[in-house]
């Protein structure tokens, strides 16, 4: 069997690089044919993955890194018949939790060698590839503050520190949502569009989301006073977001968000937009999960 690893050497503050050395030794021990391709700039993972889907002899392409690396590699493989695997070695590693992939890198390696790939959903954010969770609101403020903390911490810690800072700077999001002929307007604490269940280093924004159901999950949490935010956070961490009276949840194929100066999260990357459309692309990625 030939396995091609796409490695982000800076993922997890160098943890991915350390992980790859262990994987290399293990692959050699098993007499696996393998090749290692290191990303060198943003978007390089997508370029490498696209090339590998067309290269003779390649049987499995594996992303080694965090959610950003997974996003790039999946974007290059979507629509192809080449299976993808994931070795989690980044900061948050959110998508693997919805895909049932072990958190430990070596357990994930065993997993991808012993499980068959299956088709899962991806999405589009306007014309951009989308894999896990996107949206706008309080979570975007958290992400922006967490970005600086990622240079010092791994796992959930950067997001928890970002969350603490975000509470004191929070502003509600004024949104128009369009779904076909349906239109809704309001001020919201969080508007998340989920393919996967988790974001922000392990926050279960939509515990019932299914990456293979052919739909996206829209989670709307209405605006509350800033002083009330801490009251809802423990429940959010305990998978209770959908039980709040201020929460609306429904499954959609496509949803458009409109608002002045929106900050849109797409798989952890934040971009300014005034209008954005999320749509599902069912069963478009072959993933070992």
- Per-residue DSSP letter, 13: G
**Cα-Cα-Cα-Cα dihedral of 255, 264, 285, 16, to 10°?**
-160
Q: What is the pLDDT of residue 155?
A: 62
Q: What is the pLDDT of residue 154?
A: 63
Nearest to 176 by CA among 136, 139, 229, 132: 136
Angle between helices 157-169 and 138-149 (to 10 degrees): 130
**Cα-Cα-Cα-Cα dihedral of 162, 164, 165, 170, to 10°?**
100
Distance CA(113)–CA(97), nearest Å, equals 18
Is the domain of 16 the same as that of 72? yes
Q: Which of 86, 115, 144 corresponds to the end of one domain?
A: 115
- In the predicted model, residues of the chain with pLDDT beneath 70 are 149, 151, 154-156
Q: How many CB atoms lie within 10 A of CB 121?
A: 23
Distance CA(87)–CA(64), nearest Å, equals 5
Q: What is the pLDDT of residue 145?
A: 77
Q: What is the pLDDT of residue 53?
A: 97
Is the domain of 20 the same as that of 64? yes
Domain extent at residue 233? 128-282
- Per-residue DSSP letter, 27: H
Is the domain of 64 the same as that of 134? no
Is the domain of 110 the same as that of 63? yes
Here the CATH number for the domain that contains residue 81 is 3.40.50.10330
Q: What is the pLDDT of residue 200?
A: 76
Q: Mark out the alpha helices in 187-272 (DSSP H runs).
A: 229-237
Is residue 287 one of the residues assigned to a domain? Answer: no
The structure tokens listed for 19 are: 């992980």
Is the domain of 276 the same as that of 145? yes
Q: What is the pLDDT of residue 193?
A: 97
Pairing, β 117-125 against β 269-288: antiparallel
Here the CATH number for the domain that contains residue 209 is 2.60.200.40
Q: Which of 115, 136, 152 corresponds to the end of one domain?
A: 115
Q: Which of 115, 143, 170 corresponds to the end of one domain?
A: 115
Max CA pair span of the chain: 59
Q: Are 63 and 86 in contact (CB under 8 A)?
A: yes
Q: What is the pLDDT of residue 164?
A: 77
Is the domain of 106 the same as that of 21? yes
Q: What is the pLDDT of residue 71?
A: 96
Is the domain of 239 the same as that of 134? yes
Q: Are 66 and 269 in contact (CB under 8 A)?
A: no
Burial class of 263 by CB neighbour count within 10 A (0 to 12, 13 to 18, 19+): middle
Question: Can you say whether the dihedral through the CA atoms of 224, 201, 213, 278 is positive or negative?
Answer: positive
Q: Are 66 and 95 in contact (CB under 8 A)?
A: no
Nearest to 191 by CA among 202, 205, 210, 179: 205
- Per-residue DSSP letter, 49: H
Q: Count how many domains the chain has.
A: 2
Is residue 111 one of the residues assigned to a domain? Answer: yes
Is the domain of 165 the same as that of 111? no
Is residue 110 one of the residues assigned to a domain? Answer: yes
């Amino acid at each position: 069997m030939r396995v091609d690893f796409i490695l982000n050497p800076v993922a997890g503050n160098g943890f991915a690089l350390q992980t790859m050395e262990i994987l290399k030794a293990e692959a050699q021990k098993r007499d696996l044919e393998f090749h290692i391709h290191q990303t060198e700039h943003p978007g390089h993972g997508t370029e490498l993955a696209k090339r590998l889907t067309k290269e003779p002899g390649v049987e499995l392409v594996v992303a080694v890194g965090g959610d950003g690396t997974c996003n790039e590699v999946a974007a290059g493989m979507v629509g192809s018949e080449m299976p993808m695997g994931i070795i989690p070695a980044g900061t948050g590693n959110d998508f693997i939790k919805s895909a049932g992939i072990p958190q430990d890198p070596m357990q994930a390696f065993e997993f991808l060698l012993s499980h068959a790939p299956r088709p899962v959903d991806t999405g589009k954010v306007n014309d951009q590839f989308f894999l896990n969770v996107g949206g706008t609101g309080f979570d975007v403020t958290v992400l922006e503050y967490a970005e600086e903390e990622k240079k010092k911490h791994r796992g959930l810690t950067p997001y928890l520190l970002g969350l603490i800072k975000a509470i004191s700077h929070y502003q509600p999001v004024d949104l128009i949502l369009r779904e076909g002929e349906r239109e809704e307007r309001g001020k919201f604490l969080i508007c998340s569009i989920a393919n996967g269940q988790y974001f922000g280093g392990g926050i279960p924004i939509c515990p019932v989301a299914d990456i293979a159901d052919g739909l996206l999950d829209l989670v709307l949490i209405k605006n509350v006073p800033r002083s009330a935010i801490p009251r809802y956070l423990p429940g959010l961490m305990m998978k209770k977001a959908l039980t709040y009276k201020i929460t609306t949840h429904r499954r959609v194929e496509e949803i458009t968000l409109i608002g002045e100066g929106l900050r849109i999260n797409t798989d952890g990357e934040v971009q300014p937009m005034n209008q954005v459309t999320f749509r599902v692309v069912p069963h478009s990625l072959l993933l070992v999960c």
